[in-house]
């Protein structure tokens, strides 16, 4: 046994104080109390309360006055997180009296509730009116405040280029930024490292301090960037290239950056030359409309500051098109990240995520994850397919354009097949000692997943503000034709036993 | 009945696993922390370790029956709160248990509302 209980007779009342590390089993403690009770009438509920909740403090467990057993009683309980303390009253027996204010405060103190946190107004109120059996919140602590993680503040806007990061940042960037990919020169300061103020400690209802959480300092900069400045608060580029910014898994709004090889191209001849080995390794900005007769393969991100017209494009990264993607249905754009364009006109696209900023006309859009339309966007004609979600304001048109909108897994198979050869070529080059930038190889990691993994039509959703007749909604091989215009609607897949159907719910 | 903002613990002493599972589901859904002892001996071992707020005690069990276990629980903890669980036709045993200090009783098969009401009544007594 660690320590012994101290019993103390003060007037009629018998108190016990149990050491914090008292480990005598409860039945043995009961036997001990029986032994010292003498003329006292023991309150066995109080004995149990002292054993469970009042270590290290005086707790009344009996009285020589027989009428004490008839008196009104009370207990204190704490919420599982320890932040809140509740007082519960139990009615007096016939001829018993109510607890007085000082007795209530003594009891609260015996349970270890911090005096500075006690809500005295509630105690005053309860002196007039008791609600027996109902817990009354009498003390409320404060949780520790977590500090925000260390972050980078960009010298110039530098949006992330991964699908999740870009779409999350888009509301801050506006409809579409002037520039997405950001060229940097060696030695240039690209960002300031912002270390937030430390968090604040909290306090639980017993007055114990809840330590403040440590500042999360994720690895925000990788290859090609280094810390600079007297106070080590600046982030500077070590080499020329383009910034590659991506979201950090598990930390909302946090991004990490590096510098990858990058080029700005202004004409088709220069583009052909920079793809000496059949593809460009790095981040590429093409100024003007991209319409060339040869395939354009980029291991990295590609930004087209114009339109992409009738050109075979394969991107292991994300593709940002300022204007539109036009007439690529015969040679679909293949992209392992995000494809965003103002419009898609007779376009063919297979990508991880497709972002339609204004409209898609008679296009074949396949996404492994999502096809997302911006506010006011429309999907008219063609075939739109995604593995998880399709969302747009308008689907179909009043002129009854045949539009197929469906949840399916075609994009992953298409992309896996398309990129397999490239992956094999890259593997050979790596084996032969070629220096390929590690971050760029990450872009291909999604495509290494087996085609069926993680896909189920049951988790798919199709959401639209207006769907016109002529639209066919699909989930794998199931179809449902829309016969009348429907508004604010969500389509989902339901399986009831061996029966499957497409459910339609209106908001 | 709204869940309490703090945890309350129930020890189910019940030899039939199915019946114990039904009680466990009723109490767990209501936010109680539930423990199960498959007979009286195990119940008497577990009780001082967890000191539950409430015990549901089956009357008919192999080995020590519910009344014997109730007597021993009272010796361990004169403030224990016990609800007896019985099948129809055991009225005399239930009455004896109540005389011995059991707070309430419920009859099999279980009615969720009746079980929870009996538990709340027992817990609302000091």
pLDDT tens, position by position, B86-124:
887 788 888 899 999 999 999 989 999 999 999 999 999
Q: Do A30 and B78 touch (CB under 8 A)?
A: yes
The side-by-side arrangement of strands in the sheet containing A136-140 is A73-78, A84-90, A136-140
Q: What tokens does A2 get? A: 């660690």
pLDDT tens, position by position, A376-425:
999 999 999 999 999 999 999 988 679 999 999 988 888 888 887 777 77
| A274, A319, A393, A395, B51 from A506: Cα distances, Å | 52, 34, 14, 15, 51
Q: Do A26 and B4 touch (CB under 8 A)?
A: no
Closest partner residue to A26 (CB to CB) among B76, B124, B126 is B76
Average pLDDT, chain A: 90
Closest partner residue to B76 (CB to CB) among A30, A42, A137 is A30
Burial of B116 (0-12, 13-18, 19+ CB in 10 A): middle
Closest partner residue to A26 (CB to CB) among B77, B124, B125 is B77
- Which of A158, A488, A476, A165 is CA-nearest to residue A340? A165
The angle subtended at Cα A417 by Cα A413 and Cα A422, nearest 5°, is 140
Buried b (16+ CB within 10 A) or exposed e, A387-406: bbbbbbbbbbbeeebebbbb
What ipTM is given for this predicted complex?
Answer: 0.94
Strands A461-467, A486-496: pairing is antiparallel
Q: Do B5 and A86 touch (CB under 8 A)?
A: yes
Percent of chain A scored above 70 by pLDDT? Answer: 95
Q: Is the pLDDT of residue A39 over 90?
A: yes
CA distance A370 to A387: 7
| A56, A324, B124 from B81: Cα distances, Å | 26, 74, 10
- Which of A335, A277, A276, A278 is CA-nearest to residue A308? A335
Q: Is the pLDDT of residue A433 over 80?
A: no
pLDDT tens, position by position, A360-373:
999 999 999 999 99
Q: Do A52 and B7 touch (CB under 8 A)?
A: no
Interacting residues of A250 by C-beta distance below 8 A, sequence separation 6+? none
CA distance B25 to B30: 9
Q: Is the pLDDT of residue B9 over 90?
A: yes
Q: Do A44 and B51 touch (CB under 8 A)?
A: no
- Which of A195, A216, A86, A208 is CA-nearest to residue A144? A208
Mutate to test the interface with B, among A24, A29, A33, A48 (most CBs of B within 10 A): A48
- Which of A168, A217, A175 is CA-nearest to residue A196? A217
**Straight-line distance from the first to the last Cα atom of chain B, in angstroms, rounded to the nearest whole number:** 20
Q: Do B77 and A79 touch (CB under 8 A)?
A: no
Interacting residues of B108 by C-beta distance below 8 A, sequence separation 6+? B19, B85, B86, B87, B88
Q: How close, in Å, is residue B77 to chain A by CA atoms?
A: 6
Closest partner residue to B51 (CB to CB) among A48, A80, A135 is A48
Number of neighbours of residue A232 by Cβ within 10 angstroms: 10
pTM of the model: 0.65
Q: At CB < 8 Å, which residues of chain B contact A? A: 4-7, 48, 51, 75-79, 124-126
Q: Is the pLDDT of residue A123 over 90?
A: yes
Residue A13 banded pLDDT, cuts 50, 70, 90: very high
Q: Do B77 and A44 touch (CB under 8 A)?
A: yes
pLDDT of residue A248: 75
Q: Which residues of B touch A73 (CB under 8 A)?
A: 126
Residue B14 banded pLDDT, cuts 50, 70, 90: very high
Q: Which residues of A touch B119 (CB under 8 A)?
A: none
Q: What tokens does A25 get? A: 């089993």
Check residues A121 and A424 and name the one with the higher pLDDT: A121
| A101, A335, B22, B47 from A77: Cα distances, Å | 19, 58, 28, 20
| A351, A378, A406 from A327: Cα distances, Å | 17, 18, 22
- Kindly report which listed range (A100-114, A206-220, A292-306, A480-494) carries the lowest average pLDDT score: A206-220
Smallest CA–CA distance from A77 into chain B, residue: B6
| A158, A166, A317, A319, A448 from A173: Cα distances, Å | 10, 9, 20, 17, 31
A-B contacts at Cβ under 8 angstroms: 45
Q: Which residues of B touch A75 (CB under 8 A)?
A: 126
CA distance A438 to A442: 7
Could you give the residue ranges of the DSSP H alpha helices within A257-316?
A: 268-274
Mutate to test the interface with A, among B79, B122, B123 (most CBs of A within 10 A): B79
Q: How close, in Å, is residue A343 to chain B by CA atoms?
A: 51
User: Where does chain B show beta strands of DSSP type E?
Assistant: 9-13, 33-37, 54-58, 82-86, 104-107
pLDDT tens, position by position, B51-75:
999 999 999 999 999 999 999 999 9
């Amino acid at each position: 046994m660690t320590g012994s209980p101290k019993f103390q007779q003060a007037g009629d009342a018998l108190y016990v104080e149990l050491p914090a590390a008292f480990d005598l089993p409860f039945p043995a403690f009961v036997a001990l109390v029986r032994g010292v009770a003498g003329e006292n009438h023991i309150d066995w509920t109080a004995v149990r309360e002292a054993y469970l909740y009042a270590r290290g403090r005086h707790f009344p467990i009996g009285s020589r006055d027989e009428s004490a057993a008839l008196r009104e009683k009370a207990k204190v309980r704490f919420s599982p997180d320890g932040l809140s303390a509740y007082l519960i009253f139990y009615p007096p027996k016939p001829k018993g009296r109510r607890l007085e204010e000082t007795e209530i405060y003594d009891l609260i103190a015996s349970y270890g509730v911090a005096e500075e946190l006690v809500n005295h107004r509630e105690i005053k109120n309860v002196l007039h009116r008791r609600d027996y059996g109902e817990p009354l919140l009498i003390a409320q602590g404060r949780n520790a405040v977590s500090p925000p993680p260390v972050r980078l503040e960009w010298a110039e806007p530098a949006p992330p280029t991964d699908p999740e990061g870009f779409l999350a940042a888009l509301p801050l960037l506006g409809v579409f930024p002037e520039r997405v990919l950001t060229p940097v020169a060696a030695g240039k300061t690209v960002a300031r490292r912002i270390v937030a103020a430390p968090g604040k400690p909290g306090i639980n209802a017993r007055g114990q301090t809840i330590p403040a959480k440590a500042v999360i300092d994720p690895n925000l900069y990788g290859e090609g960037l280094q810390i600079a400045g007297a106070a080590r608060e600046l982030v500077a580029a070590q080499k020329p290239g383009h910034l590659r910014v991506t979201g950090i898994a598990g930390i909302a709004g946090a991004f990490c950056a590096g510098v990858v090889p990058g080029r700005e191209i202004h004409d088709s001849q220069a583009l052909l030359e920079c793809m000496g080995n059949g593809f460009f390794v790095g981040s590429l900005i093409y100024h003007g409309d991209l319409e060339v007769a040869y395939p354009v393969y980029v291991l990295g991100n590609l930004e087209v500051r114009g339109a992409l017209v009738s050109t075979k494009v394969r991107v292991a990264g994300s593709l940002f098109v300022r204007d539109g993607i036009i007439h690529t249905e015969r040679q679909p754009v293949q992209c392992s990240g995000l494809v965003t364009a103002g419009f898609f006109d007779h376009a063919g696209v297979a990508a991880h995520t497709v972002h339609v900023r204004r409209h898609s006309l008679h296009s074949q859009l396949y996404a492994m994850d999502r096809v997302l339309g911006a506010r006011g966007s429309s999907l008219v004609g063609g075939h739109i397919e995604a593995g998880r979600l399709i969302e747009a304001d308008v689907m179909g048109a009043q002129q009854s354009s045949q539009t197929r909108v469906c949840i399916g897994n075609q994009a992953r198979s298409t992309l896996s097949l398309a990129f397999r050869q490239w992956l094999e070529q890259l593997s050979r080059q790596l084996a032969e000692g070629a220096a390929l930038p590690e971050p760029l190889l990450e872009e291909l990691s999604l495509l290494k997943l087996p085609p069926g993994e993680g896909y189920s039509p049951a988790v798919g959703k199709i959401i639209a503000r207006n769907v016109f007749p002529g639209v066919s909604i699909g989930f794998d091989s199931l179809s449902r034709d829309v016969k009348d215009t429907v508004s604010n609607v969500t389509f989902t897949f339901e399986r009831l036993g061996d029966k499957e159907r497409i459910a339609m719910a209106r908001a | 009945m709204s869940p309490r903002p703090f945890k309350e613990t129930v020890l189910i002493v019940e030899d039939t696993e199915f019946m114990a599972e039904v009680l466990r589901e009723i109490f767990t859904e209501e936010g109680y922390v539930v423990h199960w002892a498959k007979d009286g001996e195990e119940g008497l071992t577990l009780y001082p370790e967890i000191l539950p707020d409430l015990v549901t005690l089956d009357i008919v069990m192999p080995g020590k029956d519910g009344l014997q276990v109730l007597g021993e629980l009272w010796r361990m903890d004169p403030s224990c709160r016990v609800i007896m669980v019985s099948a129809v036709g055991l009225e005399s045993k239930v009455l004896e248990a109540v005389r011995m200090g059991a707070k309430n009783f419920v009859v099999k098969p279980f009615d969720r509302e009746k079980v929870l009401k009996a538990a709340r009544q027992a817990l609302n007594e000091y």
